[in-house]
Structure 1
Amino acid sequence: MKKPPYFKTSLAVIAVFILLLVMKSYSTAPTNQQNAATKQNSTTTQVEKTEDSLVEDKRVYEGHDGNKVKHVYITVFDQNRVPDNDISFYELNESYKEYSNLDDGPKLNILFETGTDKGPEKSGFIDLGKSSPNASIELRGRSSRLEAQKSYKIRLSDNGGLWYGQTVLNLNKHADDVTRVRNKLAFDFFKEIPDLISLRTDFVQLHVKDMTNPNAGDEFVDYGLYTHVEQLNEKALAARGLNPDGHLYKAENFEFYRYHDQLKLSDDPTYDKKTFESVLKISGSEQHEELLTMLDDVNDMSKPFNEVFSKYFNEENYLTWLAVNVMFGNYDTMSTNYYLYSPLNSEKWYFIPWDFDKALGRDAERTDDFPSWHLGLQRYWGTVLHKRYLRDPQNVEKLSKKIDELTAIINEESMAKKIDEYRPIVKPYTLRNPDLKYLGIEASEFDSSYNKLKTVATRYQALYKESLQFPMPIFLHYQRENNQDVFKWETSHDLQEDTLTYHLQISTEPTFQSTILDIKDVKKFSYETDILKPGRYYWRVLVKDEEGHTQIPFDYYKDNARIIHWGVQEIIVAKGASS
């Protein structure tokens, strides 16, 4: 059959078209390769951008044996040898009575040496004939300074060398911790947890030669077992591969409010560093613009919180910090005992844990009454940032998920492993003088108290889950205005969105055995009464959800017998008081 002429033409056209395509592919190949290279470079650039995750270089812990007792020997010089030592070591230990702020307290110049249990030995520290100081010693700890056995901070001078790469020793006695290991246990776990940084900890036996005491001999005196925790400073940050510059603050009495009267720029004519540090202790840059900008935005209720949070905080770091505090039952973290860190050239702020001697079962050893909100989610409700974040049920779910995730690291088996490693060190020291003399329990009870550490995290996880069923605590406010006494309180919050009722009580006694006003279902968040007669009054508001879960306020009253009445506010109406 004869093919039509147009078919041959079509074949020719197709052949030419294919040839053109092949030629085009060769001509465009370099362009495609350039595009691929450009895309690869773009990807590489994205990878090289600074991540906002907090990642520490774990190599800092390699070769560090924190379970081996280190021996520290200090010689406290008298004024004859060191003129600046114008007080005795005894007076240093008693100086807390005179100095309410430890930063203003006295220091003594000392000779710092290391060695073995046999005595000091040359170990890299400059030998000045043992007659010249190479360090200073001072008291440390806000509450521990009141204990019979003091805790100390030792600062090595330039001629004092480095102690395992560190210039500061924080020697904690932890006299109210019968196990002696709670703080160390926490930081040893942090070394294994992502999105947090830890600090190196060591067991230290302290030996003191007190030349300021004329009745003391020329021998070193055993001061017992201490635990050292690495000072968080520029050296510690750099050792972990983190930017040593930037901002580092330690929370002293800080709940993320703006604190306009205390927190000011350093070039403000009314700026006072001591006032500033009553809220946040400055451990880094004294340029506070970034901090104050962040606090302005956190306290600006007109700004969407999720946008503010994502701008200034890393959620994984934040959730991990919250989770470990919940799992360890660290009730002393609502306004203190943590650091805020922001690297140079970054808007992000990171939480770094600090001080866990009040955690891991310390609440169970207390002899006084303890409010339930201290051990659950509620303890964070008094802090602006936490309150805004946890108001969202999805964020609470994220926290619960993070706690579940961390049980792969923090569990009864891992707890048992760590405390069993510590026991051969801690028990002999604790059950002999000088530590035995001040131990808060009978020596025969040590093992049972120590073994409770194994299950303590399990207990706190159960308490956390239980706390989710309860309403949030509130703050109370009383004032006299327009010839009336006005009682106001905050709105509570329920994670299950149950309807809440408020029960107002006013009494002349903090135990509320009898009341002068008792209203079970107040419809608003304030109540006005006629002016009360002069005297002392106590009031509270009990919050109840639909399931009967009752919550008390954050407020408390301590009576003359030092008994704390939780959830109660005292009112003193003076004679002749008016509006």
Structure 2
Amino acid sequence: MSTSQLPLIAIYIHPNDFRELRRDIWNDEPVPATLTFHNKRFHIDISYRGSHIRKFKKKSYFISFYKPYFFHGAHELHLNAEYKDPSLMRNKLSLDFFTDLGVLSPSSQHVLLSMNGKHEGIYLQLESVDEFFLKKRNLPSGPIFYAIDDDANFSLIGSFDQKPKTVLDAGYERKLGTKEDHRYLEEFIYKLNTTTRHEYESVMSQILDVNKYLRWLAGVVCTQNFDGFVHNYALYRNPDSGLFEIIPWDFDATWGRDINGKEMHYDYVRIEGFNTLSARLLDIDRFRNMYYHIMKQTLDHPFTVEFMKPKIEKLYAQLRPNVFHDPYIKDRIEQFDKEPERICTFIEKRNAYLKRNLSSLL
């Protein structure tokens, strides 16, 4: 199997700009560069991306295109190093899994990256959640808010200081829409917290796509992304329906490993998940019943070894020849080889654990 199976992205940054980029890993100001893909040249801006991942020796990047303005229908893309995931596939497996559950989810594919002629190894190319993400899916343009820190916890209390929030949209950054659109987000946060139990079903059904939220919840619970309940997501408000939908993001700490790549026990996250919104929705009989049926269907089909194993094996076969040539992970080939089986074992044990707990939802 040849290494050319994965597409190559070649980036060139002028040495002066490269020095500027590397001078401060926390600086979000991009530098100009050129990107070549399948012999086509693009002028781009490039910066580092992520929070704690910037400290790793294999960096992740955020790219925006300005000449030409589009790259395969996208204006921006993310190149994730997936450095702490020894399988390199957990993020992609998760995002594809959410798509299978009927949840809006970014598309992704593995690529090879070279930077100024130096081979940087395997990366996951991720679609940006923006107006073009909506356009590709024939969805109307509406506000998108990124959950950028743990204050996006669906609560009136801040995660960091445990004090009442001074602004209701704390923890979010607007990606699309206008300043006025923040009122929808503020109203959403306020109502999900203050509406009485008696009115909750009616009020939430008018501002949230509850079915899709519960599908997302099932996905986070199955893949066991501990951070995913208060972080690692975006909110999109569909202007036609007036309902918010939730979109997953950064799901590499899943399928039995945490953000540091350490093993996470299969029963670490309970079947109801966490966060204020989930707790309040599951306190309503109709919504709890809806979640029970979504979870049961998920455990019967997509979240099974039978369904996931061919996907895992296909990714493993694509990636393995390229691991040898990745300067950051080539010494970890033995661990990489064990990961498909480890992920399958996690699915088996997690599935059995969740099935044992299904009755608690009735």
Flag whether TM exceeds 0.5 (same fold): yes
- Which residue in 2 is equivalent to 1:314? 209
Q: Which residue of 2 aligns with 1:283?
A: 175
432, 440, 448: which is aligned to 2:338?
Answer: 448
| TM-score (norm: length of structure 1) | 0.55
* Unmatched tracts of structure 1, length 5 or more: 1-66, 80-84, 116-120, 127-133, 210-219, 265-275, 470-493, 497-579
Q: Which residue of 2 aligns with 1:415?
A: 308
SS of residue in 2 equivalent to 1:241: coil
Alignment match of 1:432 (pick from 315, 325, 330): 325
Give 3-state SS (helix, strand or coil) of 2:84's partner.
coil
Q: Work out whether 1:92 is the aligned partner of 2:92.
A: no
Amino acid at match of 2:155: Y
- Deviation of the 1:142 alpha carbon: 1.5
The letter for the 2-side match of 1:255 is N
Distance 1:190 1:296, change over 3 A: closer
Provide the residue aligned with 1:535 in structure 2: none
SS at match of 2:277: helix
What is the CA-CA distance between 1:181 and the residue it aligns to?
0.6
- Aligned equivalents of 1:402, 1:181: Cα separation in 2: 25
Any conservation in 1 of the 2:79–2:123 contact (CA below 8 Å)? yes
Aligned positions of 1:50-61 closer than 5 A: none
Structure 2 equivalent of residue 249 of structure 1: 145
Please say if residues 85 and 261 of structure 2, whose CA atoms lie closer than 8 Å, have aligned partners that are also in contact: no
Q: Which structure's residues are more often helix, by fraction? A: 2
Mapped contact 2:79–2:126 kept (Cα < 8 A)? yes
- 1:108 aligns to 2:1 (yes or no): no
Cα 1:283/1:328, change in 2 over 3 Å: same
* 1:303-352 per-position Cα deviation (integer Å, ceiling 9, x unaligned): 62212222222222011111111111222212101111112254311111
Q: Where do residues 174-573 of structure 1 align in structure 2 (5 Å cutoff)?
A: 174-194=82-102, 196-209=103-116, 220-244=117-141, 246-252=142-148, 253=150, 254-258=152-156, 261-263=165-167, 279-285=171-177, 286-287=179-180, 288-302=182-196, 304-363=199-258, 367=262, 374-377=268-271, 379-380=273-274, 383-392=275-284, 395-406=287-298, 407-437=300-330, 442-465=332-355
- CA displacement at 1:444 relative to structure 2: 2.5
Q: How many residues align?
A: 347
Q: What does the per-residue CA deviation read over 1:528-563, in whole Å, with 9 as the maximum and x for residues that have no partner?
A: xxxxxxxxxxxxxxxxxxxxxxxxxxxxxxxxxxxx
Partner Cα distance (1:367, 1:346) in 2: 41
Give yes or no for contact 1:233–1:283 (8 Å, CA) kept in 2: yes
User: Which has the larger displacement, 383-392 or 347-356?
Assistant: 383-392
- Structure of higher CA gyration radius: 1
User: 1:502-543: CA deviations, max 9, x gaps?
Assistant: xxxxxxxxxxxxxxxxxxxxxxxxxxxxxxxxxxxxxxxxxx
Structure 1 residues 462, 308: CA separation in 2 closer, same or farther (over 3 Å shift)? farther
Paired residues of 2:266 and 2:346 also in contact (CA < 8 A): no
Task: Please report the RMSD computed on the Cα atoms of aligned residues, expressed in angstroms.
Answer: 2.8
What is the distance in 1 between the residues matched to 2:339 and 2:15? 41
Q: Which has the higher contact order (CA 8 A, sep 6+)?
A: 2
Question: How high is the TM-score relative to the length of structure 2?
Answer: 0.85
Q: Kindly indicate whether the alpha-carbon contact (under 8 Å) linking 1:323 and 1:402 is maintained by their aligned counterparts in 2.
A: yes
Q: 1:367 to 1:182 in 2, by over 3 A?
A: closer
Paired-residue identity, %: 23
Q: CA deviation at 1:422?
A: 1.3
Seen in structure 2, the aligned counterparts of structure 1 residues 280 and 143 have a Cα distance that, compared at 3 Å, is same
Amino acid across the alignment from 2:188: M
- Give the structure 2 partner of residue 145 of structure 1: 54
Judged with a 3 Å threshold, the aligned counterparts in structure 2 of structure 1 residues 293 and 193 are, in CA distance, closer, same or farther, namely: same
Question: Aligned pair in 2 of structure 1 residues 365, 455: CA closer, same or farther (>3 Å)?
Answer: farther
Name the counterpart of 2:161. Answer: none
